[in-house]
């Protein structure tokens, strides 16, 4: 791959709902350039962009692949992104460094959920958009229906610049509205006359196209409004400007697997889509890392886009995000899994650097003497949790290192160690995401793990005031052990634990007060109902006795522990559960389903807010009901909803549920013996 100037580069984020044919389209585009001698197939695991073992096995895109190709003197960097919501962070990273988003839709299925989700992302990034309606060769393919679907779902000016000739078994080619030519056959096809039955459609779409082009430039707008005819060059220039200004969304059509309409799509990408903005300060290098792969053979691979200057191999740069210097060795241009070294990467281009020490996704690399920080990437918060444990001692030794490498690779994954439940928690975007991470642990790093449901970190408390005695007395020849306390226990919900002493007359010497407190704190760690930590308790040492010879710190510590166990049982113990503040954002038509579901989960809806076309629902819900909520929400909203949650407070578990939990915990404890 040769180096191209900034104006000769097109960075295209290829996005779709799973199954729309996005990866097949990328494959056809590569084939048209002559890079491939035959078209790979997703079903056979032979495509250039879906090359990871987990992608081949599942026949879906899981990782964003960088697949450059060269067409009409232009380098087109295709970023083939996943079409499933579990891997949305890969899409976010790709769109952050794209200059245009290309939406691929099935001519049979039209607009699907992931199209809607990603459309909003392109609004956030202010990206120009084009649409390719794929699968025109399939039964029930309907170009007009998909066009109507787009117009009803999104507020945008959709204008066909390429329409199909026929559909399903009569689909033979496409009409280029801009140039007024038709092409039949695969690849570039053969130029032919426009079919008579399409003449009216072509005329109508051409008028829409000219109007859209005129909107891109004030002079052209005036000329158009005054009834003057725009020249072909004016139409092309105006259309380019309208695309950049997001005043028009061009529509193209074809079939990736039949390779019809794809060459014309490439002509359009090369001729009409924007190049990266050329930064005038060429000497000041800045680049953003948008993806990281932990390769067990090559090492860490950081994918980056150069935003200014030239990124050079064998140089030293500053990671301004982490305030660390990095030594740059080899710099690679990649195409799927294939790589070629380069000495430098120009402004606007995409490349890969290997074996950087401290650099991760979202970091800015720049010249040491001209530090800058580029806008990073805000990744979604993972919401589905499973507990993982190493399968063997060998797996245990390797797990920590493997997880740290996975976290470098996937910023939408989290791993937490719960100190209360002693579980390692893997938190991901959904079942498919978590299963993929577990498979990757085994395949890439040789670490086998078993999964389990996360344990809820329950707590225990007391609900009434009691005064109890704790006495530890032991005599077995020689010096004995003697500790004796009277302690008052009472609820104090706003605190975890408060210890006070109210001793008169020295019935318990002052030197034993710390031992009493320590004995209580240790006893609190294992409550009397189900062994959970006890909280919300005030203990006052108010009386007791001691022996001048046999008393010791240990004896008073044990006496205090005995007092707690007795007192907690008498003070109406209760089980507490963590309650979460939950925010759910969904299209308004799903609000009733969400609220109804919260009612079945013992949740309390606090209120709702309108955010544009979406509704935000605020509620408090027990954590025990929320571990699999990511799956429930996806099912209720067909993937259109999102949620976040954070800890709110501990509240008492209703008696019936508490009884079941205590019974289950005791049975599990017996089984482990």
Query: Measured in whole angstroms, how far is the alpha carbon of residue 525 from the centre of its chain?
Result: 36
What pLDDT is stored for residue 53 in this prediction?
A: 72
Q: Are strands 249-253 and 129-134 parallel, antiparallel or unpaired?
A: parallel
Scan for tokens 């030594």, then name that residue: 327
Mind listing the pLDDT tens digit for each residue in 618-673? Answer: 999 999 999 999 999 999 998 889 999 999 999 999 999 999 999 988 888 777 76
In DSSP notation, 174-196 reads: EEETTTTEEEESSTT-EEEPPPG
What is the model's pLDDT at position 38? 78
What would the CATH number be for the domain defined by 460-571?
3.30.230.10
d(C-alpha 89, C-alpha 380), whole Å:
7
**Quick one: tokens of 488?**
């008052």
Tell me what pLDDT residue 673 has: 65
CB neighbours (10 Å) of residue 348? 26
Beta strands per DSSP E along 347-392: 350-354, 364-366, 384-390
The domain made up of 578-657 is a member of CATH 3.30.70.240: yes
Q: Are 81 and 12 in contact (CB under 8 A)?
A: no
Predicted confidence at residue 282, as pLDDT, reads: 58
CB 411 within 8 A of CB 89: yes
Q: Is-contact 11 305, C-beta < 8 A?
A: yes
> For the structural domain made of 8-210+247-272, what CATH number should be given?
3.40.50.300
Give whole-number Cα distances, 173 to 138, 160, 163, 354, 428, in Å. 14, 15, 9, 43, 43
pLDDT for 420 equals 86
In eight-state DSSP terms, residue 482 is E
**Domain span(s) for CATH 3.30.70.870 in the chain:** 384-452
Instruction: Assign domain 286-366 to its CATH architecture.
Output: Beta Barrel (2.40)
- Which segments of 258-365 does DSSP mark as H helices, in order? 262-272
Residues of the chain with pLDDT under 70: 1, 50, 278-283, 477-478, 673
Q: What was the pLDDT predicted at 279?
A: 55
Domain with CATH 3.40.50.300 in the chain: 8-210+247-272
Every domain range in the chain assigned CATH 2.40.30.10:
286-366
Domain at 384-452: CATH architecture: 2-Layer Sandwich (3.30)
């Amino acid at each position: 791959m040769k180096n191209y100037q900034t104006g000769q580069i097109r960075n295209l984020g290829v996005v779709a709902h799973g199954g729309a044919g996005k990866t097949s389209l990328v494959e056809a585009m590569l084939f048209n350039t002559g890079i491939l001698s035959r078209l790979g197939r997703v079903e056979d695991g032979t495509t250039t962009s879906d090359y990871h073992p987990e992608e081949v096995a599942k026949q879906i895109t899981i990782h964003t692949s960088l697949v450059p190709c060269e067409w009409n003197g232009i380098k087109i960097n295709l970023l083939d992104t996943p079409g499933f919501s579990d891997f949305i962070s890969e899409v976010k990273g790709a769109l952050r460094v794209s200059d245009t988003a290309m939406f691929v839709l099935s001519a049979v299925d039209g607009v699907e959920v992931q199209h809607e989700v990603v459309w909003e992302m392109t609004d956030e990034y202010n990206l120009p958009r084009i649409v390719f309606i794929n699968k025109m060769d399939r039964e029930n393919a309907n170009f007009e229906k998909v066009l109507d679907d787009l117009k009803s779902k999104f507020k945008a000016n959709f204008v066909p610049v390429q329409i199909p000739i026929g559909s399903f078994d009569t689909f033979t080619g496409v009409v280029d509205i801009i140039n007024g030519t038709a092409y039949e056959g695969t690849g570039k096809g053969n130029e032919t006359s426009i079919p008579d039955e399409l003449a009216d459609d072509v005329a109508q779409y051409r008028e829409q196209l000219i109007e859209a082009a005129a909107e891109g430039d004030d002079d052209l707008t005036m000329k158009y409004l005054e009834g003057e005819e725009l020249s072909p060059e004016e139409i092309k220039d105006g259309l380019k400007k309208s695309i950049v200004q997001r005043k028009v969304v061009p529509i193209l059509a074809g079939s990736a697997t039949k390779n019809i309409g794809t060459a014309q799509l490439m002509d359009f990408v090369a001729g009409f889509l924007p190049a990266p903005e050329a930064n005038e300060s060429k000497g000041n290098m800045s680049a953003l890392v948008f993806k990281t792969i932990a390769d067990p053979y090559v090492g860490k691979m950081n994918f980056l886009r150069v935003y200014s200057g030239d990124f050079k191999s064998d140089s030293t740069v500053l990671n301004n995000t982490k305030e660390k210097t990095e030594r740059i060795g080899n710099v690679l241009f990649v195409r799927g899994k294939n790589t070629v070294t380069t000495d430098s990467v120009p402004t606007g281009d995409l490349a890969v650097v290997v074996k950087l020490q401290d650099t991760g996704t979202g970091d800015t690399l720049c010249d040491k003497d001209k530090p800058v920080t580029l806008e990073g990437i805000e990744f979604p918060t993972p919401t589905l949790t499973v507990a993982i444990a190493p399968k063997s001692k060998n797996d245990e030794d390797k797990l920590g290192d493997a997880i740290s490498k996975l976290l470098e690779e996937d910023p939408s994954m989290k791993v937490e160690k719960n100190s209360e439940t002693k579980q390692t928690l893997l938190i991901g975007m959904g079942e498919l995401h978590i299963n993929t991470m577990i498979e990757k642990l085994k395949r890439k790093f040789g670490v086998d793990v078993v999964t389990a449901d996360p344990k809820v970190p329950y707590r225990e408390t007391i609900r009434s005031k009691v005064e109890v005695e704790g006495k530890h007395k032991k005599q077995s020849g020689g010096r004995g052990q003697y500790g004796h306390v009277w302690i008052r226990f009472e609820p104090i919900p706003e605190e975890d634990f408060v210890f006070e002493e109210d001793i008169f007359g020295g019935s318990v010497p002052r030197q034993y007060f710390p031992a009493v407190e320590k004995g209580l704190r240790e006893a609190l760690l294992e409550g009397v109902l189900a062994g959970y930590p006890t909280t919300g308790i005030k203990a006052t040492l108010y009386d007791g006795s001691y022996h001048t010879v046999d008393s010791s710190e240990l004896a008073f510590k044990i006496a205090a522990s005995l007092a707690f166990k007795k007192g907690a049982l008498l003070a109406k113990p209760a089980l507490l559960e963590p309650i979460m503040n939950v925010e759910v954002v969904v299209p308004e038509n799903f609000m009733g389903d969400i609220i109804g579901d919260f009612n079945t989960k013992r949740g309390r809806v606090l209120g709702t807010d309108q955010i544009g076309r979406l509704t935000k629902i605020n509620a408090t819900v027990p954590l025990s009901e929320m571990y699999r909520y990511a799956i429930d929400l996806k099912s209720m909203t067909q993937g259109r909803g999102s949620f976040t949650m954070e800890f709110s407070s501990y509240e008492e578990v209703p008696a019936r549920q508490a009884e079941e939990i205590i019974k289950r915990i005791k049975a599990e404890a017996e089984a482990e013996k």
